[in-house]
Amino acid sequence: MCVRPVPPAGRTAVAKPTTPTKSGSAAGRTRRQPPAVENRQARFAYEILDRWTAGIELTGTEVKSIRAGKVTLVDAYATVNLAKTSAGGPSVAELVLLNLEVAAYVAGSWTNHPLRRPRRLLLARAEIDRIAARLKEKGLTLIPLRLFFTERGWCKVELGLARGKKTHDKRDSIKARDVDRALRRGDE
- Establish if 28 belongs to a structural domain: no
- Establish if 184 belongs to a structural domain: no
- Establish if 96 belongs to a structural domain: yes
Q: Over the stretch 156-180, which tens digit does the pLDDT of each residue have?
A: 999 999 998 887 777 888 888 888 8
Higher pLDDT, 88 or 117: 117
Q: Over the stretch 119-155, which tens digit does the pLDDT of each residue have?
A: 899 999 899 989 999 988 888 999 999 999 898 889 9
**Please, are residues 144 and 76 in contact by the beta-carbon 8 Å criterion?**
yes
- Establish if 62 belongs to a structural domain: yes
- Establish if 67 belongs to a structural domain: yes
Q: How far apart are CA 148 and CA 139, in angstroms?
A: 27
Q: Could you tell me where the DSSP H helices lie in 4-94?
A: 40-45, 60-67
Residue 185 has pLDDT above 70, yes or no: yes
What confidence score (pLDDT) does residue 15 get? 43
Residue 61 has pLDDT above 60, yes or no: yes
Give this prediction's pTM.
0.69
Q: What is the CATH number of the domain that holds 90?
A: 2.40.280.10
> What is the residue range of 63's domain?
37-165
- Establish if 185 belongs to a structural domain: no
For residue 2, give every residue at least 6 positions away whose Cβ sits within 8 Å of its Cβ, in sequence order, or none: none
- Establish if 7 belongs to a structural domain: no
- Establish if 178 belongs to a structural domain: no
- What share of the chain in percent tops pLDDT 90? 19
Q: How far apart are CA 15 and CA 18, in angstroms?
A: 9
Single-letter amino acid code for the residue at 67: R
Distances in whole angstroms, Cα of residue 65 to Cα of each of 52, 59, 62, 167: 23, 10, 5, 35
